[in-house]
Amino acid sequence: MSYHNPVLLTESVDGLMVRNGGTYVDVTFGGGGHSAEILRRLNTGRLIAFDQDEDAWKNAPSDSRFTLVKDNFRNITARLTEVHAVPVDGILADLGVSSHQFNEAARGFSIRFEADLDMRMSQSMEFSAKDIINTYSAEELHRVFREYGELYNSRRIANALIRARENGPVNTVQQLKDVLSFCAPHGKENSFFAQVFQALRIEVNDEMAALREFLEQIPGLLNSGGRLVVISYHSLEDRMVKNFLNSGNTHGEVSKDFYGNITGRSLKAITRKPVEPNEAEVLSNPRSRSARMRIAEKL
């Protein structure tokens, strides 16, 4: 089984407009599929990749043009500065969870396997999904499932977990599913638990704040004409990226000058609508189905 099938591989690397001698960044290295394609096109340039997951580090190629930074991409400016790689010509982010993380039962990312509720992108982190389940207040749990799972019955879910904790900790995937089974709409159980797991994973890894911090640093890192390519997998991510490209901030608050011109933007969107995988890719890699890619260029 492959570590991870890179999504929208050709389309995303095409979007970077890789040129010989350029400097590029893959902030979500994973199985190295996107990085390998960038290196194939790069010739004499340089590629810096980021990944905080220790499991991904063994995929690093032995290539003098390649540098792997073992960190979260929210620290992109500091880390690129350390390796003397600012400014750059293109940055690629393939957000979400790798196939390896989903398929590795012990990581606790998947509803398919019985395991501890973990969901940490980096095993060096101390805080896991079971800590959320067993220590958050009802109001905090309600917030997580409402904001990050977009679940209409988030308060009911939170209250069910609080009641279950009275009989002991909820530590495993199956325990969580047993506690919340009555909250799942009939016939849509898998979709429901996928949203529950998404909410927990985002909270554990502080994913939305990390994405916001990453995006806000992009204008200061790209050369003029440099490209940003972002592949997202749920509406929360895609909305934040779209807002940033359209307004220059992640909240989507547009500022205009006296003449009605939008101010505060350093990037222009190249894709008016997000690019989606074609039918053939979805058939060969069903996990690509929810992918949405946006491309922008530094003004």
Q: Tell me the per-residue pLDDT of 6-38, one tens digit each, with 9 for 90 and over.
A: 999 999 999 999 999 999 999 999 999 999 999
Both 15 and 162 in one domain: the answer is: no
Q: Domain count of the chain?
A: 2
Both 94 and 212 in one domain: the answer is: yes
Structural domain harbouring 286: 9-99+208-298
Q: Tell me the per-residue pLDDT of 85-134, one tens digit each, with 9 for 90 and over.
A: 999 999 999 997 766 676 676 676 778 889 999 999 888 899 999 999 99
Place of tokens 């958050």: 136
What is the model's pLDDT at position 146? 98
Both 270 and 281 in one domain: the answer is: yes
Both 63 and 181 in one domain: the answer is: no
What is the model's pLDDT at position 51? 95
Instruction: Give which of 249, 254, 261, 262 is closest to 218, Cα–Cα.
Output: 249
Spatial separation of the C-alpha atoms in residues 195 and 290, rounded to whole Å: 13
Both 212 and 294 in one domain: the answer is: yes
Q: Tell me the per-residue pLDDT of 138-165, one tens digit each, with 9 for 90 and over.
A: 999 999 999 999 999 999 999 999 999 9
Q: Tell me the per-residue pLDDT of 204-225, one tens digit each, with 9 for 90 and over.
A: 999 999 999 999 999 999 999 9
Spatial separation of the C-alpha atoms in residues 32 and 185, rounded to whole Å: 38
Q: What is the pTM of this model?
A: 0.93
Q: Which of 151, 181, 205 is the last residue of a domain?
A: 205
Both 164 and 251 in one domain: the answer is: no
Q: Which of 171, 205, 239 is the last residue of a domain?
A: 205
The yes-or-no verdict on residue 1 having pLDDT over 60 is no
pLDDT, greater one: 249 or 140: 140
CB atoms within 10 A of CB 231: 29
Both 195 and 225 in one domain: the answer is: no
Q: Which of 182, 205, 228 is the last residue of a domain?
A: 205
Sequence-distant (≥ 6) Cβ neighbours of residue 25 within 8 angstroms? 47, 48, 49, 50, 76, 80, 85, 88, 90, 91, 92, 221
Q: Check which CATH number belongs to the domain holding 77 and give it.
A: 3.40.50.150
Alpha helices in 136-206 (DSSP H): 138-147, 154-165, 173-180, 189-205
Both 25 and 68 in one domain: the answer is: yes
Both 65 and 132 in one domain: the answer is: no
Cα Rg of the chain, angstroms:
20
Across the range 33-56, mean pLDDT stands at: 94
Spatial separation of the C-alpha atoms in residues 25 and 16, rounded to whole Å: 10
Both 186 and 237 in one domain: the answer is: no
Both 115 and 184 in one domain: the answer is: yes
